[in-house]
């Protein structure tokens, strides 16, 4: 595991567009893929393995900022189907991972805090940078934050949610889970609802996730004092997961 340092950079390249992202950590690793060879019947010989292609696995976590918002939104929408490249400068080494795809992602934040995205990747191409490959440092700019009212349940904004995590996993089936953390209040609309036709998460009025057909998956409650009960609800998203960004004209759009 490598932790972000002042001289480390991570650049996403897709369709010829390069975007430096402010990553918090990355766990990308290169492992040889091995295939097990079954021994002959009655043989006492140890199991044998055949060395296969290189496997690139891991994830990286980044804050969502104004500069990286659009490229990250495009990755969240189609990163499981449309490959991309990563240029990683760890100071001690410079590696490029080509034709990566997403195996899953998570967008999360706490109230009045920065929005983070974790992207889980896999691939099988890794190499050192060419000597003439430029390093693209991240430029300081505004980070998107999560505030009261950013999550609307069936069109009603909630001022009671203090943490959320939206997770999507790609496999034989696509699974999307929304987890909400909030203190229990008798007047909160989320308390007695097991289903919502639509839930929207709007971050910084610049990135929006619209989730259709949310069904309650699990419910937990605990307390660490005599006055407040903390609730965690997980919803399974059975409908669409639409990810949009707001352009300069103020329109919400989905771009590849």
- Return the pLDDT at 23: 83
* Same fold across 1-36+49-126 and 147-248: yes
The CATH-assigned architecture of domain 1-36+49-126 is Roll (2.30)
CA distance 212 to 197: 6
- Return the pLDDT at 199: 97
pLDDT tens digits along 108-127: 999 999 999 999 999 999 99
CA distance 256 to 254: 7
User: Is the CB of residue 44 less than 8 Å from the CB of residue 1?
Assistant: no
Domain covering 147-248 assigned CATH 2.30.110.20 in the classification: yes
Low-confidence residues in the chain, pLDDT < 50: 1-3
State the residue for tokens 């693209």: 136
- Return the pLDDT at 166: 98
- Return the pLDDT at 219: 85
pLDDT tens digits along 142-162: 999 999 999 999 999 999 999
- Return the pLDDT at 7: 73
- Return the pLDDT at 1: 39
- Return the pLDDT at 138: 83
Sort 38 into a burial class: Cβ within 10 Å, 0-12 / 13-18 / 19+: exposed
Strand, helix or coil for residue 109: strand
Domain boundaries, the chain: 1-36+49-126, 147-248
Q: Provide the β-strand partners of residue 166.
A: 107, 178
């Amino acid at each position: 595991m490598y932790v972000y340092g002042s001289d480390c950079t991570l650049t996403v390249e897709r369709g010829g567009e390069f975007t430096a992202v402010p990553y918090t950590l990355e766990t990308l690793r290169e492992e040889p893929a091995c295939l097990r060879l079954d021994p002959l019947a009655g043989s006492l010989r140890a199991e044998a393995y055949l060395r296969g292609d290189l496997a690139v696995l891991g994830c990286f976590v980044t804050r969502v900022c104004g500069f990286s918002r659009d490229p990250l939104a495009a990755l969240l929408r189609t990163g499981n189907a449309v490959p991309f490249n990563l240029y990683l400068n760890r100071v001690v080494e410079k590696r490029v991972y080509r034709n990566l795809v997403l195996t899953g992602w998570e967008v999360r934040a706490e109230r009045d805090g920065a929005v983070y995205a974790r992207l889980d990747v896999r691939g099988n191409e890794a190499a050192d940078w060419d000597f003439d490959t430029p390093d693209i440092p991240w430029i300081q700019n505004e980070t998107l934050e999560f505030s009261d009212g950013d999550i609307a349940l069936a069109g009603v904004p909630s001022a009671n949610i203090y943490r959320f995590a939206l997770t999507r996993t790609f496999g034989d089936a696509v699974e999307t889970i929304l987890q909400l953390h909030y203190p229990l209040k008798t007047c909160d609309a989320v308390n007695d609802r097991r289903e919502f036709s639509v839930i929207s998460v709007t971050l910084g009025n610049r990135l929006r996730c619209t989730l259709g057909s949310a069904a309650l998956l699990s419910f937990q409650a605990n307390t660490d004092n005599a006055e407040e009960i903390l609730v965690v609800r997980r919803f399974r998203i059975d409908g669409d997961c639409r990810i949009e960004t707001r352009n300069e004209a103020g329109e919400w759009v989905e771009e590849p």
